[in-house]
Amino acid sequence: MEIHEIIRIVLTIIIGTIGLAAFGIFFGLLYKGLDRKISAHMQGRIGPPIRQPFRDIGKLFTKENIVPENAVPWIFHLAPLIGLVASISILLYLPIGGFPPLASGYGDLILILYLLIIPSLALVIGGFASGSPYATVGAQREMATMIAYEFPLAIIIVTIAWKLSATTVGGTLIQNSFAISTITSTPVWSVVGPIGFIGLILLLLALIIVTPAELSKIPFDSPEAETEIGGGLLVEYSGRNLAMFYLMDSVKTIVMASIIVALFFPYNLSNLVGLDAGSYPAYTIDIIFYLIKVLIVLVLSVTIIRVAVARLKIDQIVYTYWVPLTLMALIGLICIMWDGQFGLPRIVEMLGLV
Amino acid sequence: MISIYDFIETLTTDSGFWNPLIWGVAIVIAFLIVYIIRGFGNKGYKKETEQTKVFLSGNPEYKEEKMHVKASNLYWGFTESLKWVYKVLDKMHTGNVSDYVLWFVIIMGTLFIILGVI
Amino acid sequence: MNLETIITHSPALIVAVPLLGAFLTPLVGKINDKLRNVFVILTVGLTTFFVFLLANDIFSSGNIRTYVFGGGTPITDGGFAIRILFEVDGLNAFMAIIASILALACVIYSWAFMKENTGLDKYYTLILLMVAGMFGMILTGDMFNFFVFLEITSISSCVLIAFWTNKGKAVDAGFKYIVISATGALFILFAIAILYSQYNALNMAFLANSIQYTFLDKIALVLLIAGLAMKAGIVPMHMWLPDAYGRAPSSVTLILVGATQVSLYGVLRMTFTLYGSQLTIPLKQIGDTSITMNGLLGITLIALALITILVGVLMALKQTDFKRLIAFAAVGEIGYIVLAIGAGLTAMGTSYGNMAFRGGIFHIINDALDVGLLFLVAGAIYYATKQTSLNQMGGLSRNMKYTTVFFLIGLLAVAGMPPMNGFASKLLIYQSTYQVNPIIAIVAILCSILLLAVFVKVFHSAFLGPKLPKFKDVKDVPKSMLLAMGIIACFIIFFGLFPEFVVNNLVKPAADAIINNTNYITTVIGGAVP
């Protein structure tokens, strides 16, 4: 590697981070507004205007930034920053529209899985650092929730990578099966047989149910649980620190939806329409298509679920994820593992049709 | 001879990659951005007033020791839903040294059956 | 005396210097306590210097160095391998680096940590003996020699575990440790006797060359693996470990972590070097599938490792004693290493099998550093507050800022969060083992999150929360303890930021030594390789 090569990469990363931060924050808040509007309409309310989240941030910035006397100030201040920074950094590893991931050769799906932990960890540590019983209760619930949903999430991610690693394209086994660029260039739906297809649907369902917990939304929001523990781990946060957590949540919304899109719907419109890849119209149409995909995913996995279901207790959350959902994901895994041996050709052969 | 370029290589596993330095650059930049955004916010609050008291829905505040949630009370929801696992594990850990040796013999026997007999 | 001469003799010096130092310590201690401490630190520092010199030579040249005691060739004219010899390849050098870092941190830490205790002459003597024993186990190329050094390590560590005799439970833990290690060592000796009776040799390379995998050899292998696995703390033979780790002074625990890793090294050396040429030979044919030794042993190790990880981590989650909690987490971490080794063994010869070996070897050093740092933090908290129960702590981050930062580094590293070293090695483990079976990687990922939960709980209950009146006067620990923690933290961050560099220069030679044992054999037995 030459020195100017390194400088080029570093500059790309610097400019990309600035751009992605702006993108993530703006669209995160926009989708938050859309989510509130849609769920209000579902409940027969008018709901706040779509730009309400932006106003919320503005309002929070003018409010006092109270540090409770029992808090450990430097950790209390640092936690929201770290959380937001980490969630912005995940965007670097995800494909946005027709653009490949900016840092595609420098991080993979396992890294994304781990980076996704950091915002939740920041919430937990911030909650613990507030020194309030309500926040502590909320924080330990968040940690338990995190353990709970990480089991199905790990199954989903490893299964997809495993399926790709066992797939041959052009006579050779796929390398770098954990890399996002591999996953987007070889959509998983195209490499499975009928049984594997059922397995993938199960995995997709599991991932959709994991999403609300990842974003602390009803029915998995017992860490915040406004009606029982007054906001839980956020109870002592106010002013700009709370605004940071608010922004973190909205960036994370984009991140989670992008992960689902990248894993399961990595398709682009531009080549269907017949535009040259790399031209401006192609980028425009891909980014619009991507934004629509994100909206659909978010409505399905966040809005509908949170309007339809009531909050679960924390032991019910752990049970939900560790038993029914893990079983579902495991069945998906088994389906995909058996796919090679018992795929459609093999079933046809066993039934004696050939 | 070790050159500077050896240090900045990406960790490759044949299935994925990880380069901490690139991530580090991104983190530093993102931190700067976020820090600037945060700087627009209001800094102040009224120290040592009722503001900084812990919010307890109007319940009276206890002494410091009682306000701290103890380690053994954490993760209640998790241990509650895995009670049966912990029951088995607690039974296993007797703290009796003859049991320790017994486990050793059991494992040795199992290994012997697997490696020796098969 | 030039550098080459020092390197040639350093395998012997690495063991001889601490051994000699051990018996000089009481004499120096008669003069002055401070002088004794300086003397011990210098002794270990000199040993570390030799280790790094030797390791640098081995890693840069790729050679294997032998040191024959009594001079001459290791094999006599009649074909008997009678001389004791030290043989150092990539794996040995790698393990020696771990042991030397831990030993150095331990003696620096002890300066302030053990200051208020009496009987420190004995303490330092035993520490140096234990270090000498560990280096002996690592460097030796002779089976009986291995046993002797194993015994030296066990006996000195048993006394050190029970060093705080005023606490009855420490004596209890020491007793348990001696029972366990005596039982283990006895069976290891038995295995050595079986091998000796068949091949008339104790030299590892010679044995590896002539081993036939008879029924007796199988028994010897089982005894060796079981005995050493117990010393490494594989579930369900781990139960001595929380007792011993939890009751020993923290500085001792640090070296005990090293001793555990060295036992694991013993498993690797015995399996891969001694039986290396027999691993992939089919044993039996059942239908289409042929059963090979590496498959059987690999699956067994994977099963044991999965149980180890799960039990270690789940038990750690409910502990309330700080050091017992870390001890259980350490059990889980050992499980990761065994998991990678087992997966690599199952997939021997494939590229992901090799990658799994690299992950496992890399994780050995990461585990030693991460868990070691956490034990030092636990010791620092004990030093400052005289508490070990997490239920009694709280709000310490106000009084102990540096310790808090070191704990955070340890927390992130042990849970494998980027950008710490634990993430790099766990990434290697996940991304190789999933090709053996996805379930393995899934459980590994899950348990790493659980480890995070375990230590976040510690972080909350010890460091965060309101200011407790009883800890009003607590101050941060003395500089020597901070320095020891700082050394380990620097290694953690360095390994975390430059993973590929470490893998290429440290881990790969060690993993190659596991995968291929012919170099190890031919270095001793000239051209007599079949």
Can you tell me the ipTM of this complex?
0.90
| C469 at B interface, C-beta within 8 A | yes
More confident residue, C192 or A102: C192
CA distance A348 to chain B (A): 34
Q: Which of C111-125, C273-287, C343-357 has the lowest mean pLDDT?
A: C273-287
Domain residue ranges of chain C, discontinuous segments joined by + = 287-518
| B93 at C interface, C-beta within 8 A | yes
pLDDT at residue C151, as a whole number: 93
In contact, C98 and C261? CB cutoff 8 Å: yes
Residue C72, number of CB atoms within 10 A of its CB: 9
A277: pLDDT strictly greater than 80: no
Q: Which of B73-87, B102-116, C440-454 has the lowest mean pLDDT?
A: B73-87
CA distance A53 to chain C (A): 31
Mean pLDDT of A160-177: 81
More confident residue, C334 or C288: C334
| C20 at B interface, C-beta within 8 A | no
Mean pLDDT of C367-383: 92
In contact, A19 and A96? CB cutoff 8 Å: no
pLDDT at residue A164, as a whole number: 86
Q: How confident is the model at residue C527 (pLDDT cuts 50, 70, 90)?
A: very low
Residue B53: strand, helix, or coil: coil
Residue A24, number of CB atoms within 10 A of its CB: 27
More confident residue, C329 or A225: C329
DSSP single-letter state for residue B58: T
CA distance C146 to chain B (A): 21
Query: What is the sign, positive or negative, of the torsion defined by CA atoms of A42, A43, A49, A51?
Result: negative
| A244 at B interface, C-beta within 8 A | yes
Q: What is the pLDDT of residues C61-73, one digit of tens each?
A: 888 888 888 767 7
In 3D, which of C194, C215, A76, C11 has the Cα closest to residue B116?
A: C215
Is C222's CB within 8 Å of B10's CB?
Answer: no
Query: What is the sign, positive or negative, of the torsion defined by CA atoms of A172, A175, A178, A183?
Result: negative
More confident residue, A352 or C276: C276
Task: Give, for C57, the enclosing helix (H) or strand (E).
Answer: helix C33-61
Is A68's CB within 8 Å of B54's CB?
Answer: yes
Instruction: Sort A260 into a burial class: Cβ within 10 Å, 0-12 / 13-18 / 19+.
Output: buried
Mutate to test the interface with B, among A88, A167, A183, A244 (most CBs of B within 10 A): A88
Cα nearest neighbour of C456 on chain A: A125
What torsion, rounded to 10 degrees, do the Cα atoms C149, C152, C154, C156 define?
A: -150
Nearest-angstrom CA–CA distance, A147 and C421: 22
Is B42's CB within 8 Å of A317's CB?
Answer: no
Give contacts of B35 with chain A, Cβ < 8 Å. 81
Mutate to test the interface with C, among B14, B56, B66 (most CBs of C within 10 A): B14
Q: How confident is the model at residue A344 (pLDDT cuts 50, 70, 90)?
A: low
DSSP assignment string, C203-231: BHHHHHHH----HHHHHHHHHHHHHHHHH
Task: Identify any residues that bridge with C289 across adjacent strands, giving them in sequence order.
Answer: C286
Q: Which of B113-117, C255-259, C413-417 has the lowest mean pLDDT?
A: B113-117
Tokens describing residue C127: 């520490």
Mean pLDDT of C320-344: 92
Tokens describing residue B32: 């700067």
Tokens describing residue C255: 């070296």
Q: What is the pLDDT of residues C471-483, one digit of tens each?
A: 888 888 889 999 9
Instruction: Sort A46 into a burial class: Cβ within 10 Å, 0-12 / 13-18 / 19+.
Output: exposed
pLDDT at residue A337, as a whole number: 83
C196: pLDDT strictly greater than 60: yes
Give contacts of B6 with chain C, Cβ < 8 Å. 501, 504-505
A46: pLDDT strictly greater than 60: yes
DSSP assignment string, C250-298: HHHHHHHHHHHHHHHHHHHIIIIIISGGGTTSEEEEETTEEEEHHHHHH
Query: What is the sign, positive or negative, of the torsion defined by CA atoms of A195, A200, A203, A209?
Result: negative
Give contacts of C239 with chain B, Cβ < 8 Å. 93-95, 99-100, 103
Tokens describing residue C6: 């020092």
Give contacts of C180 with chain B, Cβ < 8 Å. 97, 100-101, 104
CA distance B72 to chain A (A): 12
Is B56's CB within 8 Å of A133's CB?
Answer: yes
Tokens describing residue C298: 């690999």
Is C417's CB within 8 Å of A333's CB?
Answer: no
C528: pLDDT strictly greater than 90: no
In contact, C308 and C237? CB cutoff 8 Å: no
pLDDT at residue A350, as a whole number: 63
Q: Which of B70-74, C311-315, C514-518 has the lowest mean pLDDT?
A: B70-74
Residue type (1 letter), A281: P
In 3D, which of A112, A111, A323 has the Cα closest to residue A209?
A: A323
Q: How confident is the model at residue B62 (pLDDT cuts 50, 70, 90)?
A: confident
Nearest-angstrom CA–CA distance, C261 and C231: 9
How far lies C40's CA from each of C106, C128, C138, in Å?
Answer: 11, 8, 21
Mean pLDDT of C305-309: 93
Q: Identify the chains in contact with A, defined as 3+ C-beta pairs within 8 A.
A: B, C
In contact, C339 and C309? CB cutoff 8 Å: yes
| Cβ-Cβ contacts under 8 Å for C225 (sequence gap 6 or more) | B111, C267, C270, C271, C297
Residue C360, number of CB atoms within 10 A of its CB: 31
| C143 at B interface, C-beta within 8 A | no
A343: pLDDT strictly greater than 60: no
Provide the b/e sequence for C372-407 (b: ≥16 CB within 10 Å): bbbbbbbbbbbbbbebbebebbbbbbbbbebbbebb
Task: Give, for C432, the enclosing helix (H) or strand (E).
Answer: helix C421-433
A128: pLDDT strictly greater than 50: yes
Residue A121, number of CB atoms within 10 A of its CB: 25
In 3D, which of A143, A28, A148 has the Cα closest to residue A91?
A: A28
Average pLDDT, chain B: 83
| B34 at A interface, C-beta within 8 A | yes
pLDDT at residue C530, as a whole number: 33
Cβ-Cβ pairs closer than 8 A, B with C, add up to: 172
Cα nearest neighbour of B95 on chain C: C239
Tokens describing residue B3: 């050159």
Task: Identify any residues that bridge with C458 across adjacent strands, giving them in sequence order.
Answer: none
Is A114's CB within 8 Å of C430's CB?
Answer: no
In contact, C456 and A121? CB cutoff 8 Å: yes
Give contacts of C456 with chain A, Cβ < 8 Å. 121, 124-125, 128, 143
How far lies A232's CA from each of A12, A128, A136, B79, C137, in Å?
Answer: 39, 10, 8, 20, 53
pLDDT at residue A348, as a whole number: 66
A1: pLDDT strictly greater than 70: no
Q: Identify the chains in contact with B, defined as 3+ C-beta pairs within 8 A.
A: A, C
Nearest-angstrom CA–CA distance, C242 and C246: 5
| B38 at A interface, C-beta within 8 A | yes
Nearest-angstrom CA–CA distance, C427 and C448: 11
Q: How confident is the model at residue B31 (pLDDT cuts 50, 70, 90)?
A: very high
Give contacts of B115 with chain C, Cβ < 8 Å. 218, 221-222, 293, 296-297, 300
C249: pLDDT strictly greater than 80: yes
Give contacts of C504 with chain B, Cβ < 8 Å. 6, 9
A169: pLDDT strictly greater than 80: no
C3: pLDDT strictly greater than 90: no
Give contacts of C435 with chain A, Cβ < 8 Å. 162, 165
| B14 at C interface, C-beta within 8 A | yes
Mean pLDDT of C204-226: 87
Give contacts of A174 with chain C, Cβ < 8 Å. none
pTM of the model: 0.93
More confident residue, C456 or C75: C456
Residue A309, number of CB atoms within 10 A of its CB: 12
Q: How confident is the model at residue B96 (pLDDT cuts 50, 70, 90)?
A: confident
Nearest-angstrom CA–CA distance, C156 and C423: 34
What's the farthest any 2 CA atoms get from each other in chain C? 76
Residue of B5, B57, B81 lying closest to A322 (CB–CB): B81
Give contacts of B22 with chain A, Cβ < 8 Å. 9, 13, 103, 106-107
Q: Which of A85-94, C279-288, C315-324, C360-369 has the lowest mean pLDDT?
A: C279-288
Query: What is the sign, positive or negative, of the torsion defined by CA atoms of C318, C324, C326, C331?
Result: negative
Residue of B20, B65, B114 lying closest to C497 (CB–CB): B20
Q: How confident is the model at residue C408 (pLDDT cuts 50, 70, 90)?
A: very high
In contact, C470 and C332? CB cutoff 8 Å: no
Nearest-angstrom CA–CA distance, C430 and C434: 6
DSSP single-letter state for residue A274: T
pLDDT at residue C98, as a whole number: 93
pLDDT at residue A313, as a whole number: 85
A309: pLDDT strictly greater than 90: no
Tokens describing residue C185: 């060592």
Nearest-angstrom CA–CA distance, C530 and C60: 29
More confident residue, B2 or A93: A93
In 3D, which of C505, C511, C517, C509 has the Cα closest to residue C355?
A: C511
Residue of B16, B86, B107 lying closest to C226 (CB–CB): B107
Q: How confident is the model at residue C76 (pLDDT cuts 50, 70, 90)?
A: low
C324: pLDDT strictly greater than 50: yes
Give contacts of C431 with chain B, Cβ < 8 Å. 13-16
